[in-house]
Amino acid sequence: MVSAEEHEQASAGRPAMPMSHQPMAAGPISQAMPVLTLINQSMNMQIVGINGGIIGRRQGPYVQYFQQFMFVSGVHAQLNYRPNMGWTVTDKHSSNGTKVNELSLTPDVETPLRPGDVLTIANISFEVTLK
CATH no. for residue 89? Answer: 2.60.200.20
Residue 15 lies in a domain: no
Q: What is the pLDDT of residue 32?
A: 87
Q: What is the pLDDT of residue 80?
A: 98
Give the number of domains in the chain. 1
CA 123 to CA 69: how far, in whole Å? Answer: 9
CA 98 to CA 50: how far, in whole Å? Answer: 18
Residue 72 lies in a domain: yes
Q: What are the Cα distances from residue 59, in Å, to 66, 81, 90, 91?
A: 10, 19, 15, 14
Q: What is the pLDDT of residue 19?
A: 42
Q: What is the pLDDT of residue 46?
A: 97
DSSP state of 74: S
Residue 62 lies in a domain: yes
Q: What is the pLDDT of residue 61?
A: 97
Q: What is the pLDDT of residue 31?
A: 66
Q: What is the pLDDT of residue 16?
A: 44
Domain that residue 43 falls in: 36-130
Q: Which residues of the chain have pLDDT under 50?
A: 1-27, 29
- pTM as predicted: 0.76
